Chains A and B, each alone.
Chain A
Amino acid sequence: MRSTILTMLGVWMVSMLNAQLNKIEFREFTLDNGLHVILHQDKSTPIVAVSVMYHVGSKNENPNRTGFAHFFEHLLFEGSENIGRGEYDKYIEKAGGTLNANTSMDRTYYFEILPSNQLELGLWLESERMLHAKVENVGIETQRQVVKEERRQRIDNQPYGSFLEQIMKRAYNVHPYKWPVIGSMDHLDAAQESDYKNFYADFYVPNNAIISIAGDIDYDQATQLVTKYFKDIPPSKKPVYRPKAVEPALAGEIRDTVYDNIQLPAVLMAYRIPAAGTPEYYAVSMLGTLLSQGESSRLHKALIDDQQKAVAVGNFPLDLEDPGVAIAYGICSMGTDVQDAERAITAEIERIKTESIPDEEFQKLRNQVENDFVTSNSRVAGIAESLANYKMYYGDANLINTELERYLAVTKEDIRKAAEKYYNTNNRVVLHYLPKPAAP
């Protein structure tokens, strides 16, 4: 599935809530086996979101078995010792709920949204998945094919669909971010049942997971039920594998051309940036807002409105646990040379380094960040995910209430410095996407 490998645009939506305005209350505790539990009560609608975030993504994979993390997102709907093959969805749908899952480079996330009287069902299903999911050939065979179709649909058959894969393999040499989340189809084919069983035993353990529940719950009852279903699940005996690789700085600009089934050329520029949550990351993120949020943003105004060189532009950081990249891009308007579009984007970036941001524009940035912060997480499902995210990456779920302060602490000078330090030619991969020449 299930729905998704996290796609780039989804990633950069800053998702939190404003402390002063609507504080999100929550309770949290850790079971003896290491499972961390976060609960948030909101009784306005009789529904509940039950989610489990496993701290395993493509970066935890064996380089010869890439695609496993995402493959498991498929496989772990195949059933468990007590749940028949294909029954997982049925239980949820019969209860009037919905479910899905997605995988990123850093984590795998499963969730159900249920009528609130079905909380226990959600806990049973998630605990079955963690305790003794079925990892066996019949499911593996089916999901291999499904994942291949997913790759064809989302990457091979989509215009520009391969861009992230193309960027990351050039931006990284040693860090596992260099391979795509969907992984290698050859690796999946070559893998044995035992490889899959080992991956499950290594990563699908309570000491590598956070369960986050939000909605119409009673705190005491929810605590009791989570304990009942999860306390006996054994933790792993060895520490969970985390890649130690530190990617050295790029030796210089990397440029390349990719030919794809497209009509309009595009330019993508990926700049290596610091890990999400660091002070510099917030400056880089605000820089992205300045460049591309709203029609008055710099790239939009320059490339689309004034110069009409592009039909779409953007800039977004991938907020990754280890240092990631920010990608600035433009899809050329008809007849525009890709070099021309690249020069126009670079000119806007250079301007940030040399010209101070006007006060009014800086206030606009702050207003935009505040608006996003307040209006995101209007739903319990989003709140459950944000709480788990903050806890897993930063060790502090309460950032759901306070992260805005980190954005508002960024100064104009911080943004200028971030542009100077990270948005420079020696620190980037530039890709030109060009239409494939017609077949002879």
Chain B
Amino acid sequence: MKNILILLAAVLTFSQCSKKVTAPTVSVPTIDKSWRKSAPAPGAARDIQLGTYSDFKLDNGLHVIVVENHKLPRVSYQLSLNNEALVEGDKAGYTSFAGELLSKGTKSRSKAQIDEAIDFIGADFNTSATGIFGTSLKKHAGKLLDVMTDVLYNPVFPKDEFEKVRKRTASGLASSKTNPEAIASNIRSISNFNNKHPYGEVQTEESIKNITVEDCKNYFDTYFRPNNAYLVIVGDITLPEAKMQAEKYFAKWQKKDVPQVNYSFPELPKGRQVRFGNKDGAVQSVISITYPVDLKPGSPDAIKTSVMNTILGGGIFSGRLMQNLREKKAYTYGARSSISNDRLAGVFNAGASVRNEVTDSAVTEFIYEMSRIATEPVTDKDLSLSKSSLSGNFGRSLESPQTIANFALNTFRYNLPRDYYNNYLKNLEAVSISDVSDMARKYVRPENCNVVVVGSKEAVAEKLKKFDSDGVIDYYDPFGKKLEDKKVEVSASVTPQSVIDDYLDAIGGKKKLMDVKTMQTIAKSNLGGAEATFENYQTAAGKFAMKVIMNNMTMQEQRFDGTKGIAIQMGSKKEITDAKQLESLKKQAVMFDQLKYASDGNKLELKGIEDVEGVSCYKLNVTDPAGEMSVEFYDVKTGFLVRTVKTQEGMGQKVTVTTDYADYRDVSGVKVPFKITISGAAPMTIVLETVSVDINKSLSDDIFKAE
């Protein structure tokens, strides 16, 4: 009963064919509507004009960008730092504390006075770790800049306000413990980046306790420097006015050298790693498939990747993920993907919130769509839809003057060619189908990713094991701290071979097992509403046969007489000649592989003790002479094999199959598992219930006849 997957796959495809088809209903036309049949043609397109910007530098190094737009009588000022984020270590959160505290008191104004001054003119104003932003009606701009520069030149980081920020942050962190999106975001950061990378840090209740006012002052003093900043002015203002304001308010800002930090690109996940955050009682799972990508702003790949991602699951409703998971399967309210570009490291992320029952099916669909875009060329239709959508976004974004300001800021910050955005539409148009395939192969990695799921552990976690390359789910607390399994030390006397010996003893002992000459196993399984019976025959002489019966009809049969093999499908015979397949049949004839682990040259590694469904097990990696590895889990107490995890090729895809063995019962002195649960091989989990086992019953040669 080990390798029934190929048979199963065929049966499953068959049993799923009988989908109901609803006849379309037709409403009765009341007026002549024939002219409505097809969509109207577009009119002549107007050229898309990019707005312009100006820029200049003050003597202290402050780079000023100005975008004029006189539609509304308002103006905004954005002071934006240019340094990379910092690694904050056990004080994670101190730079954001510093940013928040900036507006909480100056030498001459208390926090309440700052708030009053801002609210009185109906302005928006906020400070953060990366800059200061303010906007108001033009007539109040002077008052706004007074406050903004007071905060910049004279902040005092008051101790009492500092404690309030800490208390409020602590409350916020407490409340985020039950927010599934927040939990997922924390686990994502930690999984994608290590703790030496600023993007891998998460604020915790502990880390904010370590922050001091001095940390905040130091950060501000070091990084809030004009030579490390851009000032972006947008709105109802002229260039001469902007120059005057910049000189008047910002020329006295003192420059100072700012330290530069470099970070190495994070390591990619090894294989596929399921990382789970438990939320008791959750009715949905938040799924996020994610990993870091090396994609820099303005790189030649950036535009091509956005086209590819739009097809996969970018902003549009026609994206494949949305169409598949929402419109076809109705698993979710929305499924999307994104690829960000960033100087340090971008991130791929594909995700959805889905109901508990379909969590594993949804992951399967994500992986399917991620694989498909890399292996099948997209169609012309997909490509042109994606491009139109992106050029439409671009055109619509130009309605906001802030867009032009952002373009200018990016151009300087990322050192883009001055005409990068002017050429954007042209470069977008040039993206080809093969570019999309190239990008998918380069940046979409369904086999090397973190599968982050936040939901009810009890309801969904078990079903996710099949996606994990090593068959073990890692669990995290809401702040992304890995929860260690109760580590049990393996005692020195235990060796890989002793685990195997204990297992052989547990199921009857070597002598007894060597005496088994034939074995006949009948099992049943419910496959999507239809019951299937599996008959399995093995002999010590190396013969093997298997039948799948549904509705009293033999659907599938395989026979192997020791040298030759045949497959019979719905009555039509086919000889098996492929050496690999014959080898696999030969393996299936073996009743107790473990007897021969040593003599067959398998490499065994004991990887410690791990928990499998609450049972402590020895974890053993078994590598056969061909280099294929499977992971086996043996119950520490009883010695029984309880789980195997193996990644194998099936139907052209790599799949990780988890097989659980339970309900061992005595049959003629040999212990046989009567319940076998297979997940990962088919879209659903398959449970095989053993009906009968016969040992050393005389089996007719006809059963194995391979002619």
Pairs A–B under 8 Å by Cβ, sample size 12? A46-B395, A81-B27, A117-B44, A118-B43, A120-B42, A136-B22, A149-B284, A154-B333, A263-B175, A305-B112, A367-B121, A368-B122
Interface centre among A44, A125, A158, A294 (most CB of B within 10 A): A294
New A-B contacts (12) at CB < 8 Å, excluding given A146-B333, A154-B333, A263-B174 = A45-B398, A45-B399, A95-B392, A96-B389, A117-B43, A120-B41, A143-B330, A153-B333, A305-B111, A333-B168, A369-B122, A370-B137
Q: Does A334 contact B174, Cβ atoms closer than 8 Å?
A: yes
**Interface-forming stretch among A64-72, A344-352, A374-382, A404-412?**
A374-382
Chain A residues with CB under 8 Å of B39's CB are 91, 121, 124-125
Q: Give residues 148-184 of B contacting A (CB, 8 Å).
A: 164, 167-168, 170-172, 174-175, 177-180
Chain B residues with CB under 8 Å of A1's CB are 317
Q: Does B283 contact A156, Cβ atoms closer than 8 Å?
A: yes
* Shortest beta-carbon distance from A95 to chain B in Å: 6
Q: Per-residue 0/1 for A306-317: is the Cβ within 8 Å of any B Cβ (1 yes, 0 no)?
A: 001001000000
User: B626 in the interface, Cβ–Cβ < 8 Å?
Assistant: no
- List chain B positions with a Cβ less than 8 A from chain A: 22, 24-25, 27, 29-31, 33, 36-48, 71-74, 111-112, 115-116, 118-123, 135-137, 164, 167-168, 170-172, 174-175, 177-180, 279-284, 316-318, 323, 326-327, 330-333, 353-355, 384-385, 388-389, 391-393, 395-396, 398-400
* Shortest beta-carbon distance from A87 to chain B in Å: 9
* Shortest beta-carbon distance from A435 to chain B in Å: 8
Q: Which of A95, A150, A364 contacts B42 (CB 8 A)?
A: A95
Q: Per-residue 0/1 for A288-325: is the Cβ within 8 Å of any B Cβ (1 yes, 0 no)?
A: 00000111110001001100100100000000000000
In the complex with contacts A45-B395, A301-B115, A119-B137 CB distance below 8 A = no
Q: Which of B71, B73, B172 contacts A44 (CB 8 A)?
A: B71
Q: Does A82 contact B37, Cβ atoms closer than 8 Å?
A: yes
Chain B residues with CB under 8 Å of A372's CB are 122
Q: With A and B bound together, what is the CA distance between A142 and B33 in angstroms?
A: 28
User: A62 in the interface, Cβ–Cβ < 8 Å?
Assistant: no
User: A251 in the interface, Cβ–Cβ < 8 Å?
Assistant: no
Give the top 3 A-B pairs by smallest Cβ distance, nearest first: A96-B392, A371-B122, A145-B330
Q: Does A380 contact B332, Cβ atoms closer than 8 Å?
A: no
* Shortest beta-carbon distance from B477 to chain A in Å: 14
Q: Does A86 contact B323, Cβ atoms closer than 8 Å?
A: yes
* Shortest beta-carbon distance from B496 to chain A in Å: 41
- List chain A positions with a Cβ less than 8 A from chain B: 1, 21-22, 44-47, 81-82, 86, 89-91, 93-99, 113-121, 123-125, 127-128, 131-132, 136-138, 141-146, 148-150, 152-154, 156-159, 216, 232, 234, 261-264, 293-297, 301, 304-305, 308, 311, 331-334, 360, 363-364, 367-372, 374-375, 378-380, 436, 439
Chain B residues with CB under 8 Å of A99's CB are 317
Q: Does B330 contact A149, Cβ atoms closer than 8 Å?
A: yes
Chain A residues with CB under 8 Å of B389's CB are 93-94, 96
Q: With A and B bound together, what is the CA distance between A240 and B639 in angstroms?
A: 74
Chain B residues with CB under 8 Å of A297's CB are 119
Q: Does A333 contact B167, Cβ atoms closer than 8 Å?
A: yes
* Shortest beta-carbon distance from A352 to chain B in Å: 17
* Shortest beta-carbon distance from A53 to chain B in Å: 21
Chain A residues with CB under 8 Å of B136's CB are 371
Q: With A and B bound together, what is the CA distance between A308 and B168 in angstroms?
A: 8
Q: Does B45 contact A115, Cβ atoms closer than 8 Å?
A: yes
* Shortest beta-carbon distance from B176 to chain A in Å: 8
Q: With A and B bound together, what is the CA distance between A19 and B45 in angstroms?
A: 33
Q: Does A93 contact B318, Cβ atoms closer than 8 Å?
A: yes
Name the residue of chain A whose CB is nearest to the CB of B161: A305
Q: Does B395 contact A96, Cβ atoms closer than 8 Å?
A: yes
Chain A residues with CB under 8 Å of B115's CB are 294-296, 301
* Shortest beta-carbon distance from A387 to chain B in Å: 17
Q: Does B178 contact A262, Cβ atoms closer than 8 Å?
A: yes
Chain A residues with CB under 8 Å of B42's CB are 95, 115, 117-118, 120-121
Q: Does A371 contact B123, Cβ atoms closer than 8 Å?
A: yes
Q: Does A97 contact B122, Cβ atoms closer than 8 Å?
A: no
Q: Does B354 contact A149, Cβ atoms closer than 8 Å?
A: yes
Q: Does A98 contact B392, Cβ atoms closer than 8 Å?
A: yes
In the complex with contacts A93-B388, A115-B45, A374-B73, A439-B172 CB distance below 8 A = no
Q: Which of B111, B137, B175 contacts A262 (CB 8 A)?
A: B175
Chain A residues with CB under 8 Å of B174's CB are 263-264, 334
Q: With A and B bound together, what is the CA distance between A368 and B119 in angstroms?
A: 7
Q: Does B24 contact A136, Cβ atoms closer than 8 Å?
A: yes
Q: Does B120 contact A364, Cβ atoms closer than 8 Å?
A: yes
Interface centre among B36, B123, B168, B385 (most CB of A within 10 A): B36
Interface centre among B48, B112, B164, B395 (most CB of A within 10 A): B395
Q: Does B120 contact A115, Cβ atoms closer than 8 Å?
A: no
* Shortest beta-carbon distance from B217 to chain A in Å: 22
Q: With A and B bound together, what is the CA distance between A115 and B396 in angstroms?
A: 8
Chain B residues with CB under 8 Å of A115's CB are 42, 45-46, 392, 395
Chain A residues with CB under 8 Å of B171's CB are 264, 311, 332-334
Q: With A and B bound together, what is the CA distance between A191 and B278 in angstroms?
A: 36
Q: Does B119 contact A94, Cβ atoms closer than 8 Å?
A: no
* Shortest beta-carbon distance from B356 to chain A in Å: 9
Chain B residues with CB under 8 Å of A136's CB are 22, 24-25
Q: Does B317 contact A93, Cβ atoms closer than 8 Å?
A: yes
Q: Does A311 contact B355, Cβ atoms closer than 8 Å?
A: no
Q: Which of A118, A296, A311, A379 contacts B116 (CB 8 A)?
A: A296
Chain B residues with CB under 8 Å of A137's CB are 22
In the complex with contacts A45-B395, A138-B22, A308-B280 CB distance below 8 A = no
* Shortest beta-carbon distance from A408 to chain B in Å: 13
Name the residue of chain A whose CB is nearest to the CB of B402: A378
* Shortest beta-carbon distance from A86 to chain B in Å: 6
Chain A residues with CB under 8 Å of B391's CB are 96
In the complex with contacts A46-B395, A157-B180, A368-B119, A93-B316 CB distance below 8 A = yes
In the complex with contacts A82-B36, A152-B283, A90-B395 CB distance below 8 A = no
Q: With A and B bound together, what is the CA distance between A334 and B171 in angstroms?
A: 5
Q: Does A375 contact B74, Cβ atoms closer than 8 Å?
A: yes
Name the residue of chain B whose CB is nearest to the CB of A144: B330
Chain B residues with CB under 8 Å of A21's CB are 72-73
